[in-house]
């Protein structure tokens, strides 16, 4: 995608990232490295991930190497370097969920949506993640879609749950 506006950068999903929006977020903070995580969280809140250009602009603002920011962005699971789906599916793989078949749920999501953990469906609707614990061990195995918890999920229930989001539900 080409664009004539120099303050816009096209991403792989053909959405546009406004450099001005990133600069506005960064400008709210002093140029001190101790604010880097807060700035990255604000950028992610705005774009749902950390565009590459945002790390470059942030590194310039903080006068630090981009690799330092990249290492922070890859350390914290709450931060993402690539766009996520409109609906984020998290499958708990903590001990209780693992014992109760969480890996079967991951395989079930793969079959229903055709994506692996860390991937996004081609239409940008769903992304799949595995997490260490969702704190709902008594309900194992647990699935979280956006902010809704689903407990004691079976492979039989999985397509219905996912399809309710495809049809604009929840």
Same domain, yes or no, for 34 and 66?
A: yes
Cα–Cα distance between 28 and 23 in angstroms, integer? 9
CA angle 112/114/115 to nearest 5° reads 115
* Residue 153 and residue 127 in one domain: yes
In-domain check, residue 1? no
68 and 112 in a single domain? The answer is: no
Indicate if 19 and 71 belong to the same structural domain: yes
Are both 150 and 105 inside the same structural domain?
Answer: yes
Give the per-residue pLDDT at 18. Answer: 87
80 occurs within a structural domain: no
Of 75, 99, 129, the position where a domain reaches its end is 75
- 3-class SS at 170? coil
Q: Specify the pTM.
A: 0.72
Total structural domains within the chain: 2
Same-domain status, 71 and 114? no
For every one of its 170 residues, what pLDDT tens digit does the chain have, with 9 covering 90 and above?
333 344 444 333 334 678 999 999 999 999 999 999 999 999 999 998 999 999 999 999 999 999 999 999 999 888 999 888 999 999 999 999 999 999 999 999 999 999 999 999 999 999 999 999 999 999 999 999 999 999 999 999 999 999 999 855 55
Residue 81 forms part of a structural domain: no
Tell me: do 69 and 132 sit in the same domain.
no
**Shared-domain flag, residues 18 and 47:** yes
CATH number at residue 117: 3.40.30.10
Task: Find residue 130's DSSP bridge partners.
Answer: 91
Residues 70 and 105 in one domain: no
Residue 169: C-alpha distances to residues 26, 56, 148 (Å): 36, 38, 12
Give the chain's end-to-end CA distance (angstroms, integer): 32
Assess whether 102 and 67 both reside in one domain.
no
Give the model's pLDDT for residue 150: 97
Do the domain assignments include residue 2? no
Residue 56 lies in a domain: yes
State the Cα–Cα distance between residues 158 and 88, nearest whole angstrom.
14
What is the DSSP secondary structure assignment for residue 155, as one 8-state letter? T
**Domain region containing 97:** 87-166
Cis peptide before 85 (omega within 30 of 0): no
Q: What is the pLDDT of residue 153?
A: 97
- CA–CA dist 75, 79 (Å, integer): 8
Distance CA 158, CA 143 (A): 9
């Amino acid at each position: 995608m080409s664009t004539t506006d120099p303050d816009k950068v096209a991403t792989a999903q053909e959405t546009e990232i406004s450099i001005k929006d990133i600069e506005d977020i960064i400008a709210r903070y002093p140029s001190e490295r101790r604010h880097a995580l807060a700035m990255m969280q604000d950028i992610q809140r705005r774009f749902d991930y950390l565009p590459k250009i945002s790390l470059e602009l942030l590194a310039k603002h903080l006068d630090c190497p981009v690799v330092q920011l990249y290492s922070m962005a890859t350390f914290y699971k709450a931060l993402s370097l690539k766009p996520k789906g409109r609906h984020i599916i998290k499958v708990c793989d903590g001990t209780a969920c693992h014992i109760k078949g969480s890996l079967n749920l991951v395989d079930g999501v793969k079959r229903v949506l055709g994506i692996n953990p860390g991937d996004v469906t081609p239409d940008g609707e769903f992304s799949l993640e595995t997490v260490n614990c969702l704190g709902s061990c008594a309900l194992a195995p647990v699935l979280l879609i956006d902010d809704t918890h689903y407990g004691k999920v079976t492979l039989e229930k999985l397509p219905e749950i996912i399809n309710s989001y495809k049809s604009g539900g929840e």
